[in-house]
């Protein structure tokens, strides 16, 4: 487990690349209860002006959060987690879309035993999230 005393501002987290494919979205729809057809029906998605089916923003957010919780080892120690969805994650049939995740320690707060991490999520070198940030409680 990462401890507060072991980290410093600017430190980079271990990068991860995590795949999303059509099957992930069907599975996520079932698990989350979000059955919006823009996430699983190409016909529907294009009929409402989208280029193709797009991944649930919340699936991208969940995947992005793992960069931090895999690193800290305690996914229950999250205090705040927020993202802006800036570009749809398009998932072509039969292909995996790779979410490339990097992260950097933005701030460390000794008083509240917490640290804030800036997360960068990219698909094909383009960012898909903005202001993606997670604050976690860490042991001193």
Partner 1 sequence: MPLDQSFVGRSYPPTAPYEVGREKIREFADAIGDASPAYRDPAVARALGYSDVIAPPTFAIILTMAASRQITHDPALGIDYSRVVHGEQKFSYVRPIQADDRLQVVARVEAIRSVGGNDIVTSSQQVSTVSGEPVVTALATLVVRGPEA
Q: Residues in the site for partner 1, rule: CB under 8 A? A: 18, 24, 27-28, 30-34, 36, 38, 44, 48-49, 54, 56-59, 61-63, 65-66, 69-70, 74-76, 78-85, 88, 134
Tokens for 125, please give them.
Answer: 């070198």
Query: Least separation, in Å, of the C-beta of 100 and partner 1?
Result: 15
Pick between residue 5 and residue 82 the one whose CB is nearest to partner 1: 82
Tokens for 104, please give them.
Answer: 């950097």
Cα dihedral across residues 127, 132, 138, 140: positive or negative: positive
Pick between residue 10 and residue 33 the one whose CB is nearest to partner 1: 33
Polymer length of the chain: 140
What is the C-alpha radius of gyration for the chain, rounded to an integer number of angstroms? 16
Query: Least separation, in Å, of the C-beta of 9 and partner 1?
Result: 22
Query: Least separation, in Å, of the C-beta of 134 and partner 1?
Result: 8
């Amino acid at each position: 487990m990462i401890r507060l005393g072991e980290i410093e501002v600017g430190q980079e987290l271990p990068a991860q690349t995590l795949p999303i494919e059509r099957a992930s979205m069907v599975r996520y729809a079932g698990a989350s209860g979000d059955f919006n057809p823009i996430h699983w029906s190409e016909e529907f998605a294009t009929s409402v002006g989208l280029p193709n089916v797009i991944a649930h923003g919340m699936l991208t957010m969940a995947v992005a959060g793992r960069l931090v919780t895999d690193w800290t080892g305690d996914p229950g120690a999250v205090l705040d987690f927020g993202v802006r969805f800036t570009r749809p994650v398009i998932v072509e049939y039969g292909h995996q879309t790779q979410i490339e995740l990097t992260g950097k320690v933005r701030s460390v707060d000794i008083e509240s035993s917490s640290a804030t991490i800036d997360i960068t999520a990219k698909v094909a070198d383009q960012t898909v999230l903005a202001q993606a940030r997670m604050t976690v409680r860490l042991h001193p």
